Amino acid sequence: MKRRQFNRALAAAAAFSAFPGIVRAQATKLKVGVILPRSGYLGFIGQSCQKGADLAPGVIKEMLGVDIELMNADFESNVDTARTRAERLIQEGANVLVGPFDSGAASAIAQVAEQRGVPFVINIAAAPQITEQGYKYVFRNFQTAIDIVRNGLDLIGDLFQATHTVPRTAVYMHVNDTFGQAMTKGIGAMLPRRTQLPFKIVDTISYDPAAKDLTVEVSKAKAANADFLLLVCRLNDAIILRREMVKQRWNPMGIVSPGSPGMYEEQYFKTLGKLSDYSISNVPWYNPNSKLTKVVEKAFLKQNPKDKLDFHGLNAGFTFEAILIAADAYKRARSTDPKTLADAIRQTNIVDKMSLGGPIKFNDKGQVEGIGSACVQNMNGLPTVVLPQSAAKAKPVFPAPYYKKT
């Protein structure tokens, strides 16, 4: 009797191993591997993104009736670690990967996802080449650096027009990581074609985003005697840079980012206090008036009663949307088979979303198009939309009140 039972079990195991897709298709939960930099120099931003992931299972269960199991991994702001974390999550049974905020890490995870045939939905990462490789399992619900630069430069033009200012020169400072290099390439290609913009870049200064001291770089930027600072940054370096500007008494017309994180983050405000005010970031943003934003905000405040969505709307919003994309596809596919799930993601058409712009729809490369940007200025301790006028909560201030013409 025991031998017969053993033989039946062996036959069943052989049948399942011959058709692994069948086993995965019968899963009752969608296992989402969330890879974020919750420590290291990107740690505060990764933690901000994690807030969007943490509230996703509850909100999505109520919206779609889909059960989600989060499998969280910290890649510690290290690209090589991101690769090994992705491998481990897939090995432990993740049906889909979500993350990672950083372009370098996204490129590494994309390679792993494609090799292993597991869908990967990028929440935030802008380097264009990620979706130019012909990948079949990689999808990005975020602007490319080219889109960010295009929208960011146009918003700079709108800013100057709205404030009746005509700066003639800018000094350009940027992080030298994958994202910073992609942004710099985009600015170099597009700025000469934006003939409506009155300024030219008189000096370009790159630096390590993990730098602990930017004394030399700020001194060089100040010596350029430019009207304003054009900045592509991260969070920690933005704080160090702003402090160094004050220390060296460098007061240009303003700090304007054509599209990068850092200056709208909560830690920027907490660390710098009033020195954080008037910094400007032209970035993809969330729509505070959308129905989904209001649902997410309610859940966010319940889980984070001491926080404000204003500081986390971009990070948490795009992370939530990435998980929503996976859950929506899973509901339609009724399967966790990786190819079936990837095919369903490719057919995504989500109209009710958090981010500005059109519906979430992927092109043949796995890239979403039509995500909108906003000009976000720090005012009274909060990141505040000042352009476009249709979404604005205040009028832009430029030059900043601390500006001293020399």
Q: Domains in the chain, start-ordered, CATH in brackets?
A: 19-144+289-371 (3.40.50.2300), 146-286+374-391 (3.40.50.2300)
Q: Closest Cα to residue 221, out of 243, 257, 239, 245?
A: 245
pLDDT confidence band for 120 (50 / 70 / 90): very high
Predicted confidence at residue 11, as pLDDT, reads 45
pLDDT tops 80 at residue 17: no
Quote the CA–CA distance of 317 and 53 in Å, as a whole number: 9
pLDDT tens, position by position, 334-370: 999 999 999 999 999 999 999 999 999 999 999 999 9
Report the chain's C-alpha Rg in angstroms: 23
Mean per-residue pLDDT, 128-150: 96
Residue the block writes with tokens 């009724």: 334
Going 239 to 273 to 259 to 111, the CA torsion angle's sign is positive
Q: Closest Cα to residue 31, out of 98, 125, 101, 123?
A: 98
Beta-carbon-side half-sphere exposure of residue 344 (alpha carbons within 13 Å): 21
Quote the CA–CA distance of 100 and 104 in Å, as a whole number: 9
pTM of the full structure: 0.87
Average pLDDT, the chain: 93
Mean per-residue pLDDT, 215-239: 98
pLDDT tops 60 at residue 372: yes
- Give the phi and the psi of residue 159 in degrees, each rounded to 5: -65, -45
When mean pLDDT is compared across 140-149, 234-243, 284-293, the lowest value belongs to: 284-293
pLDDT confidence band for 406 (50 / 70 / 90): low
pLDDT tens, position by position, 282-325: 999 998 889 999 999 999 999 999 999 999 999 999 999 999 99
Mean per-residue pLDDT, 23-36: 78
pLDDT tops 80 at residue 61: yes
pLDDT tops 50 at residue 275: yes
Q: 178, exposed or middle or buried, with CB in 10 Å at 0-12, 13-18, 19+?
A: buried
**H or E element at residue 383:** strand 382-387
Beta strand 200-207 with 228-232 is unpaired
pLDDT tens, position by position, 157-198: 999 999 999 999 999 999 999 999 999 999 999 999 999 999
CA angle 307/43/185 to nearest 5° reads 110
pLDDT tens, position by position, 85-116: 999 999 999 999 999 999 999 999 999 999 99
Predicted confidence at residue 289, as pLDDT, reads 86
pLDDT tops 80 at residue 213: yes
